[in-house]
């Protein structure tokens, strides 16, 4: 199934998948996926384990190359050209255990020269963490790591935000705060793609719900965002 | 030095300062080599002068490998490497920062080990001792420059510790030979170490240039 909502609307997509397949040996993680992602929209990827959700995100992030087909992110066929505009949060924290949250964010902020980044303290406040907390990330709870990880990806104010299972390990209140934050983020004409097993949690911000099954787009449903 | 290189370097030095992971294992291994060789061989007279260069290089080599194995382990843990691969600054700066950090770690270990080395082997430098200040840094850079590169190459392998030794040691042999010969010449004063020092310098320039040019390819490999 093709998803070409933005083409129909006449908008330039943030990202475009054209007949993209990804093979790991003989296993096809993605099969001929075509997809346009519009700016200012939130796409929720659903599907069972192994459906290809994380693979799709990693291809968008430029961490994997498609075996067949083409991917364009912000018009560039080489995703590395666009990497300063992409924020990717995976299952893992992608942070150094031996540094504090502030130190981690200061470090990553320095690696985006020429880009207007948030102050680390502001990014931490946005995700509901105390910037003055002087503890190493290795001593954080799983939920706190998850929030710090989100602060890391928001730091360089990406135009395309890729979140792999962002609600895992989070309590109900933290999920609510995160959904509010993502809703504000989406309103500034930025694109969000997130994967989850919990459809209800993402429903308030979902413009489109894409269900993947065995590497194919099985269904595409328009969401009813409330946030 | 660019800002990103400095940032990477400060981060690696800060983490090592807090954990001392690399330093402790390096001190342990190199100390063990120096002590065991002094027990195995009679460390008196001219013989000690002859083998001291080799012992010093072997101690440095084994110590470095334990540190090099850890050079990328922090990046692999929690998939920090993926975050590194997504930043716009060049991967070569990360490589260079890691090489400089490991060079500093090994140099500190050499400095700490030096007094024990001279005591255990009863050494008297017959040649131009100051040349050691050229030979040891050049040899150490040859080791860590290649080591950091090949550790990155082998980091996705399950047997990365073994793989690093298998790839690194054969490639390091020309530099090891030059380092041992130059050090022995300085200790004994029998010959001129200049040719060996030039060889080390050439080796460093060639392999560092190649590593810088090729690092982005292995860094962004799937």
A108 contacts on B by Cβ (under 8 Å): 83, 87
Of the two residues A224 and A29, the one the predictor is more confident about is A29
Q: Which of B19, B74, B86 shows the shortest C-beta gap to A83? A: B86
Domain borders along chain A are: 15-222
- CA dist., res. A162 & res. A90, Å (int): 8
Q: What is the pLDDT of residue B99?
A: 96
Mean pLDDT to the nearest integer, A32-41:
92
B19 contacts on A by Cβ (under 8 Å): 98
Q: Which of A80, A83, A95 shows the shortest C-beta gap to B80? A: A95
Q: What is the pLDDT of residue A8?
A: 46
Quote the pTM value.
0.89
pLDDT along chain B (222 residues), means of 10: 89 94 90 86 74 84 86 89 91 95 94 86 80 93 95 86 89 93 88 94 97 92 80
Q: Which DSSP string do the residues of A16-53 spell out, in sequence order? A: EEEEEEEEETTEEEEEEEEEEE-TT-EEEEE--TTSSH
Domain borders along chain B are: 1-220
- Under 8 Å between Cβ of B91 and B219: yes
Here the tokens at position B20 are: 């001392």
* Residue B44 near chain A (CB below 8 Å): no
Measured between CA atoms, the residue of chain B closest to residue A65 is B222
Q: What is the pLDDT of residue A13?
A: 85
- CA dist., res. A83 & res. A9, Å (int): 26
ipTM of the complex: 0.88
pLDDT exceeds cutoff 50 at A2: no
Q: What is the pLDDT of residue A7?
A: 47
Of the two residues A11 and A224, the one the predictor is more confident about is A224
**Cα B55–B56–B59 angle (5° rounding)?**
80
B82 contacts on A by Cβ (under 8 Å): 61, 63, 88, 90, 92, 94
Here the tokens at position A135 are: 């503890």
CATH number of the domain located at residue range(s) A15-222 in this protein: 3.40.50.300
Q: pLDDT of B121-170, one tens digit each?
A: 877 777 788 999 999 999 999 999 999 999 999 887 888 888 888 999 99
| Strand ordering across the sheet containing A27-37 | A2-3, A27-37, A15-24, A68-73
């Amino acid at each position: 199934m093709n998803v070409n909502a933005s083409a129909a609307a006449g908008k330039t997509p943030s990202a475009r998948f054209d007949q993209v397949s990804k093979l790991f040996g003989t296993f096809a993680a993605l099969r001929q996926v075509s997809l346009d992602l519009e700016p200012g929209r939130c796409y929720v990827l659903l599907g069972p384990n192994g459906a290809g959700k994380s693979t799709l995100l990693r291809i968008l992030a430029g961490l994997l190359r498609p075996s067949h087909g083409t991917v364009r992110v912000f018009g560039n066929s080489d995703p590395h050209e666009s990497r300063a505009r992409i924020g990717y949060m995976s299952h893992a924290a992608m942070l150094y255990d031996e540094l504090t949250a502030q130190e981690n964010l200061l470090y990553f902020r320095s690696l985006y020269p020429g880009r207007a980044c948030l102050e680390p303290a502001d990014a931490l406040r946005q995700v509901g963490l105390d910037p003055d907390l002087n503890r190493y990330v290795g001593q954080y709870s799983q939920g706190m790591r998850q929030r710090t990880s989100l602060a890391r990806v928001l730091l360089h104010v990406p135009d395309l935000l890729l979140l792999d299972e962002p609600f895992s390990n989070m309590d109900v209140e933290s999920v609510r705060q995160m959904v509010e934050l993502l809703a504000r983020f989406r309103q500034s004409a930025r694109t969000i793609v997130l994967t989850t097993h919990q459809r209800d949690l993402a429903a308030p911000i979902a413009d489109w719900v894409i269900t993947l099954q065995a590497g194919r787009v099985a269904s595409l449903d328009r969401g009813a965002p409330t946030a | 030095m660019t800002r990103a290189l400095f940032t990477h370097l400060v981060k690696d030095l800060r983490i090592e300062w807090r954990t001392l992971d690399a330093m402790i294992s390096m001190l342990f291994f190199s100390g063990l080599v120096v002590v065991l060789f002094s027990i195995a061989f009679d460390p008196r007279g001219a013989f000690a002068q002859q083998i001291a260069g080799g012992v010093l290089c072997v101690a440095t080599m084994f110590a470095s490998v334990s540190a090099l194995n850890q050079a990328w382990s922090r990046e692999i843990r929690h998939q920090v490497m993926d975050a590194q691969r997504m930043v716009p600054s060049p991967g070569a700066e990360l490589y260079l920062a890691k090489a400089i950090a490991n060079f500093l770690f090994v140099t500190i270990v050499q400095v700490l080990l030096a007094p024990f080395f001279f005591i255990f082997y009863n050494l008297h430098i017959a040649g131009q001792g100051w040349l050691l200040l050229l030979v040891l840094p050049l040899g150490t850079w040859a080791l860590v420059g290649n080591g950091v590169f090949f550790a990155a190459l082998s980091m996705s392998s399950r047997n990365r510790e073994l793989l690093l030794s298998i790839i690194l040691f054969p490639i390091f042999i020309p530099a090891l030979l030059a380092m041992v010969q130059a050090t022995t010449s300085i200790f004994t004063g029998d010959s001129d170490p200049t040719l060996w020092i030039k060889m080390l310098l050439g080796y460093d320039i060639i392999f560092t240039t190649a590593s810088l040019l090729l690092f982005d390819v292995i860094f962004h490999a799937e």
